[in-house]
Amino acid sequence: MTRSHTIRVQLGERSYDVVVGSGVRSQVFSALPSTARRALVITQDGIPFAIADDLKSAGLSVSTLTIGDGEEHKSLSTIEAIMVECANIGLTRNDVIVGVGGGMVTDVAGFAASLWHRGIAAVHVSTTLVGMVDAAIGGKTGVNLSTGKNLVGSFWQPRAVFCDTDALASLSPQEIRCGHGEMAKYHFLTGDNLLALELAERIARCVQIKADIVGADEREGGRRMLLNYGHTLAHALEIATDFSLAHGEAVAIGLVYAAHVAHQLGRIDQHRVDQHRAVVTGEYGLSCALPAGVSHEQLIQLMHGDKKALTGLTFVLDGPRGVEPVTSVDLEAVRRALHSMEVR
Ligand code: GLY
C-alpha cells in the first residue's frame, strides 16, 4: 500500500477520520463499532470493491443491498426498501450500515443509517472523485423529491470514511469531470493550486478544506454555505436536463454563472469573471456553457425552489470580502447573468 493520508473531521465526540489512499478499503473493519455483529452493505452494480466479503471474513454477518443507478433511485422508495431489508436481517442499534460507492450511495446509506432505529452507525467507502472530495464527507445525507434535489435528509456523521484511490481507475470521463467541478469550487474558496498536487494529496487537501468548514459549522448555519458555491444554478440545471448533466459538470457551469451574477451586482469586475472561466475551462478542462434548449425562466423557477432560498433567490457569490452567501438577489441581475452565459 502506498502512503495514505488521514484527515480528522473535528466534531467533538463525533469526530472521525477520513483516510485517503490506495488500498485503504482494507481498514474498514477497524472502523466498525465493536458491538457490531451484522452489517448491511449498500452499494450499486459496477462498484469495484468486495467489502462485504472482507467483512464476512472478519466474522460479521453481512447482507448486501444493491440500489439502482441514477438520480431517480435517490428516493424515498429506495429508503423504504433499505428499511425493510434492515428489518428482514434483524439489524440492531449495535450494528452498522456500510455505504460503498459514489455520492449517491453514501447519501442514501447515511440517510438510512440515520433513520433505522432512530440512528445507527454508518461507515463509508467512497469510490468516486466527487464522493471523495465532497459528498462522503460532512454528514449531509438525503434523497430527492420530484420537485428538487436532496430535499429530504438529515445530518448524520459517519464513523469513518475511506477514500480508496484504487477505485478511480474505473471511473468514466463524466465521473472524473464531476470531481473536477467540485475541485474547481475549492480553488475559488481557498485560492489553492490543487492541480499542482499529486492525486491522493489533492483529494486529501480537498477533504481537509471541507473538514475544516464542517468542523466549524456542521449544520450550515454560516460558513458551510460556502460549499454551495456554484450549486444554486447547478441543482436547477441537473433537474432541467433530467440529470443528463451530472452534478459536478453542473457545478462547473454554476461557478461561472455565479461569477456573472456577482458581476451584474457590481461585486466583482469582468477580469474576475474571466478568471472563473479560465480556471473552470482552461485549468480543470470543463465546459461552462449552458446546455442548449434549457429555458431561463425554468431555471429561475427551479432556483427559487432551492433549499438555500430562504429569502428570495439566494446565491453564494464572490465579492470584495471573498465568497459569501447573498440573499434576495435581484431577479433582473439573475436574468442578465443567464444571458451572459455561452450556450452549447
Ligand atoms: N456538499 C456541500 C456540503 O456538504 O455542505
- The CATH number assigned to the domain holding 64 equals 3.40.50.1970
Q: Which residue has the cell 499542482?
A: 196
Residue 247 bears catalytic tag: yes
In a domain, 186, yes or no: no
Residues 158 and 307 in one domain: no
Residue 140 bears catalytic tag: yes
Residues 287 and 152 in one domain: no
Choosing from 130, 132, 133, 134 the residue with most ligand 1 atoms within 8 A of its CB, the one to mutate for a pocket test is 134
pLDDT at 187: 96
Question: Is residue 1 predicted with pLDDT exceeding 60?
Answer: no
Q: Is the CB of 103 under 6 A from ligand 1?
A: no
Nearest to 73 by CA among 103, 39, 50: 103
Q: Is the CB of 249 under 6 A from ligand 1?
A: no
Nearest to 78 by CA among 65, 87, 88, 89: 65
**Out of 197-206, 212-221, 304-313, which region has the weakest mean confidence (pLDDT)?**
304-313
Residue 47 burial (C-beta neighbours within 10 Å; 0-12, 13-18, 19+): buried
Query: Average of pLDDT values for 258-287?
Result: 98
Residue 297 bears catalytic tag: no
- Rounded-to-5 percentages of helix, strand, coil across the chain: 50, 20, 35
Output the CA torsion sign for 325, 257, 152, 302.
Answer: positive
Residues 35 and 129 in one domain: yes
* 324: its cell numbers: 459569501
pLDDT at 306: 75
Residues 118 and 245 in one domain: no
Residues 49 and 119 in one domain: yes
Residue 231 bears catalytic tag: yes
Q: Is the CB of 205 under 6 A from ligand 1?
A: no
Supply the range of the domain harboring residue 144: 5-174
pLDDT at 305: 80
Instruction: Using the atom order of ligand 1, give the atom closest to the CA of residue 228.
Output: 2
Q: Is the CB of 308 under 6 A from ligand 1?
A: no
CA distance 280 to 277: 5
Average pLDDT, the chain: 96
* 157: its cell numbers: 456523521
In a domain, 189, yes or no: no
Nearest to 52 by CA among 44, 42, 38, 41: 41
CA distance 225 to 221: 7
pLDDT at 23: 97
Q: H or E element: which one contains 155?
A: strand 148-155
Question: 55 φ, ψ to 5°?
Answer: -70, -35
Instruction: Using the atom order of ligand 1, give the atom closest to the CA of residue 140.
Output: 4
Q: Which residue has the cell 482494507?
A: 26
* 168: its cell numbers: 478511480
In a domain, 147, yes or no: yes
Residue 339 bears catalytic tag: no
Instruction: Give how many domains the chain has, as a whole number.
Output: 2
The residue count for the chain: 344
Residues 94 and 234 in one domain: no
Q: Is the CB of 251 under 6 A from ligand 1?
A: no
Percent of the chain past pLDDT 90, that is, above it, reads: 94
- Could you tell me which residues are beta bridge partners of residue 290? 343
Q: Is the CB of 218 under 6 A from ligand 1?
A: no
Q: Quote the Cα angle for 292-295-299, to 5°.
A: 110
Residues 146 and 236 in one domain: no
148, 174, 200: which is the final residue of a domain? 174
Ligand 1 midpoint to CA 212 (Å): 12
Residue 117 bears catalytic tag: no
Q: Is the CB of 182 under 6 A from ligand 1?
A: no
Residues 254 and 141 in one domain: no
Residues 15 and 112 in one domain: yes
Contact (Cβ atoms closer than 8 angstroms) between residue 112 and residue 83: yes
Query: Average of pLDDT values for 22-30?
Result: 97
Residue 220 bears catalytic tag: yes
In a domain, 16, yes or no: yes
Q: Is the CB of 260 under 6 A from ligand 1?
A: no
In a domain, 190, yes or no: no
Ligand 1 midpoint to CA 229 (Å): 10
Question: 315 φ, ψ to 5°?
Answer: -135, 155
In a domain, 211, yes or no: no
CATH number at residue 312: 1.20.1090.10
131, 152, 174: which is the final residue of a domain? 174
Query: Average of pLDDT values for 284-308?
Result: 92
Residues 142 and 287 in one domain: no
pLDDT digits (tens, 9 = 90+) for 116-156: 999 999 999 999 999 999 999 999 999 999 878 899 999 99
Question: 247 φ, ψ to 5°?
Answer: -55, -55
In a domain, 210, yes or no: no
Output the CA torsion sign for 248, 254, 255, 256.
Answer: positive
pLDDT digits (tens, 9 = 90+) for 142-194: 999 987 889 999 999 999 999 999 999 999 999 999 999 999 999 999 999 99
In a domain, 110, yes or no: yes
Residues 237 and 112 in one domain: no
pLDDT at 211: 98
Residues 42 and 144 in one domain: yes
129, 154, 174: which is the final residue of a domain? 174
Question: 84 φ, ψ to 5°?
Answer: -65, -40
Residue 88 bears catalytic tag: no
pLDDT digits (tens, 9 = 90+) for 203-244: 999 999 999 999 999 999 999 999 999 999 999 999 999 999
